[in-house]
Amino acid sequence: MSNQFKGIIVCGFGQKLFPLTESTPKPVVSVGNKAVISYVIEWCHQSQLNDLLVLSPASFSNQLTPLLKSHSVHYNSVDDDTCVNWETADWLRHFAHLINSDFIILPCDIIPPPSLPLSSLLQQHKTSHYNTLITCLLYYNHLDYGTREGPAPFTCIHDKSSNTLLIPPSDSLDGVDLKTRLLWEFPNLSLSTKLLDAHVYIVRKGVLDLLIQRPQISSIREDLLPWLCKWSYQKGLGDKWSHLLHLAQDPFIDALTHSTTQSCSNSPEHRLRVQYFIHNPNDGLIARANTLGTYAELNREILRTQKPAKSVITADNVKIGEKSLIKMSIIGNNVVIGKGCKIIGSIIADNVVIRDGAKLDNCIVCTRVKIGERATLTLCDVGGDSDVLSDTHAKNEKISLDGSSG
């Protein structure tokens, strides 16, 4: 079944992960000592979804290409200046000539649980009614992000009896507008302020044809989903735009449409719609490492799950000086830690050098950083290739490559 779908992994610039993404492309930022994009690629391969296409800005190529070759994944890029303001729909339109079947859109930063095989989502979409245009994955937000940024608050409205999404999760600051027609067609609505959009969308090929004809649609979540959701309770929208989808009609429904004794044209259950699937949090944590808060918590979850000795995960070729203390931390490849250092609750990426006497508490340190002697950092996020001077004292700051902090 998986070979009937094409997997499309879209890699953005990751502004919400700054300064971690200042000199490190978002898809290769490390989570649990592994490039974050590796998790979604493995998720696809475990369900025999092997027809994958990764799309990213061209500046990612040097660091991303070797990783994708090791996974035997096709890769295409676009010049940074061209795609700097692109959203997912813009990427799909640009590479529409490579998409010849139903497809699944995937983020490069999602960490799925073992209990949720991708094949189960594909099966749910495949066996849904003919009128399902998109099946999207939602999950509950129950992480504590501390002082770091987490996902924006939102409201989601759906109909449990039909698994129809009516107002998708959005970080828009606008209030929820409940139309009378919506309440009339779906009188038993469910409203949630705790559901997040995983940005996993299983999409009928016809929707791509619609996107090509509607270039003003840029974001899947903010533009396309809200519009398509309205089709399930505003009959006129489907009547006006559905011809652009080039969908094959269900024979039974087609017969009813031409029947003189029965009609389904005004029935909500037969209108084009967006379907949802909610992952049960009791079946394992799923989240996206798309903010500093979720990035930190996902690394901690890996620590909790693996339960390593002394609560420390250490990669290859790590050198630790005498009298140094490390607890509840993840240490990447080729890291050098000097004498008398103290590292608590921190995430240290590859090729980092920490000089004698430095102290790090609840910090995120990206690749190739150098931290000077006796530097003390608390709740700090340090971008790749940065130099932290000796005797620096910083708390709750973002330290970037140019030496600035905020």
The DSSP string of 184-217 is HH-SS-EEESSEEEEEEEEE-HHHHHHHHH-TT-
Q: What's the distance, CA 179 to chain centroid? A: 30
Please state, in angstroms and as integers, the Cα–Cα distance from residue 348 to each residue in 38, 178, 319, 367, following that order: 18, 47, 13, 8
Q: Which CATH number fits domain 311-399: 2.160.10.10, 2.60.40.10, 2.40.50.140, 3.40.50.150?
A: 2.160.10.10
b or e along 13-30 (b: 16 or more beta carbons within 10 Å of the residue's beta carbon)?
bbebbebbbbbbbbbbbb
- By CB neighbour count within 10 A (0-12 exposed, 13-18 middle, 19+ buried), where does 130 fall? middle
Residues 331-337: what's their mean pLDDT?
Answer: 96
What pLDDT is recorded for position 206?
93
Residues 354-372: what's their mean pLDDT?
Answer: 97
What DSSP character marks residue 277? Answer: E
Evaluate if residue 362 carries a pLDDT over 70.
yes
b or e along 160-191 (b: 16 or more beta carbons within 10 Å of the residue's beta carbon)?
eebbbbbbbbbeeeeeeeeeeebeebbeeeee
Residues 285-294: what's their mean pLDDT?
Answer: 94
303's tokens: 């620590």
Residues 223-229: what's their mean pLDDT?
Answer: 94
Mean per-residue pLDDT over the chain, rounded: 89
Per the model's pLDDT, the better-predicted residue between 148 and 248 turns out to be 148
Residues 264-287: what's their mean pLDDT?
Answer: 81
What pLDDT is recorded for position 261?
45
CB 38 within 8 A of CB 12: no
Using CA atoms, how far apart are residues 47 and 43, in angstroms rounded to an integer?
A: 7
**N-terminal to C-terminal alpha carbon distance within the chain:** 49
**Domain segments of the chain: what residues?**
2-288, 311-399
Query: Which helix (H) or strand (E) segment is 69 a member of?
Result: helix 61-70
Q: What is the 3-state secondary structure (H, E, C) of 212-253?
A: HHCCCCCCHHHHHHHHHHHCCCCHHHHHHHHHHHCCCCCHHH
Evaluate if residue 30 carries a pLDDT over 60.
yes
CB 22 within 8 A of CB 404: no
Q: Up-side HSE of residue 177: CA atoms within 13 Å toward CB?
A: 6
What pLDDT is recorded for position 128?
84
Evaluate if residue 253 carries a pLDDT over 50.
no
What pLDDT is recorded for position 370?
97
Q: Which CATH number fits domain 2-288: 3.90.550.10, 3.40.50.1820, 3.40.50.670, 3.30.70.370?
A: 3.90.550.10
- By CB neighbour count within 10 A (0-12 exposed, 13-18 middle, 19+ buried), where does 219 fall? middle
Residues 81-95: what's their mean pLDDT?
Answer: 96
Question: ∠49-28-327 over CA atoms, to 5°?
Answer: 115
Neighbours of 339 (CB within 10 A): 13
Residues 356-377: what's their mean pLDDT?
Answer: 97
Q: Are strands 156-159 and 195-203 parallel, antiparallel or unpaired?
A: unpaired
Using CA atoms, how far apart are residues 406 and 395, in angstroms rounded to an integer?
A: 10
Q: What's the distance, CA 394 to chain centroid? A: 30
**Where does the pLDDT of residue 259 fall: very low under 50, low under 70, confident under 90, or very high at 90 and above?**
very low
Per the model's pLDDT, the better-predicted residue between 224 and 4 turns out to be 224
CB 303 within 8 A of CB 330: yes
Evaluate if residue 153 carries a pLDDT over 70.
yes
Residues contacting 80, CB < 8 A, separation 6+: 57, 58, 59
Evaluate if residue 262 carries a pLDDT over 50.
no
